[in-house]
């Protein structure tokens, strides 16, 4: 019975792993790959672009998602600046829009949100789901 309990706990841990979202976490000011991650191969992305585990180390759970912010920053004494920021979010867009625009006095931004691993840049969560489903199959085969 204790063995079964341990296996159930491991499966539940797998559910948490499978449902935790991973997002690109970068700013084009200090990493030009952040402008368009889809133009790079997977090996280059893995080596030079950070992937964040949203909510890791957070005590109060949130409904995390991936976010991409495209900004044009206006300067009075020099040319405008363009940047892209990618990362985790937890406050949803107004009316649950996929994207919305904000026009502030010193910058214009478009904020987009998405809800799958790496959706703010690339890749998928196939490996997490494969691990999770494999664990369930093993347990079901053992106890049937």
Into how many domains does the chain fold?
1
pTM exceeding 0.75: no
Burial of 88 (0-12, 13-18, 19+ CB in 10 A): buried
- The CATH number assigned to the domain holding 58 equals 2.10.60
Examine residue 136 and state whether it is found in any structural domain, yes or no: no
Tokens 């040319």: give the residue: 79
Judge whether 140 lies within some domain. Answer: no
Residue 34 in domain: yes
Q: Give pLDDT tens digits along the chain (144 positions).
A: 555 544 544 444 444 444 579 999 999 999 999 999 999 999 999 999 988 999 887 777 788 999 999 999 999 899 999 999 999 999 888 887 899 999 988 899 999 999 999 998 843 333 333 334 444 444 445 555
pLDDT of residue 92: 87
The answer to whether position 40 is within a domain reads: yes
Q: Kindly state whether residue 12 falls inside one of the protein's structural domains.
A: no
**What pLDDT score does 71 carry?**
96
Give me the pLDDT at residue 136, please: 47
110: in domain: yes
Domain of residue 107: give its range: 22-124
Residue 104, in any domain of the structure: yes
């Amino acid at each position: 019975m204790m063995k079964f309990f341990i296996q159930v706990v491991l499966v539940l841990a797998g559910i948490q792993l499978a449902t935790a979202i991973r997002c690109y976490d970068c700013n084009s000011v200090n990493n030009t790959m952040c402008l368009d991650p889809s133009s790079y191969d997977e090996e280059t992305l893995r080596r030079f672009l950070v992937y964040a585990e949203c909510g890791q180390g957070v005590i109060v759970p949130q409904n995390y998602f991936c976010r991409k912010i495209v900004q044009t920053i206006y300067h009075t004494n020099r040319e405008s600046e363009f940047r892209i920021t990618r990362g985790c979010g937890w406050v949803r867009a107004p009316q649950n829009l996929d994207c919305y625009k904000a026009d502030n006095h010193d910058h214009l931004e478009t904020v987009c949100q998405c809800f799958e691993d790496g959706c703010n840049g690339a890749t998928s969560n196939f490996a997490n789901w494969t691990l999770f489903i494999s664990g369930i199959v093993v347990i079901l085969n053992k106890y049937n």
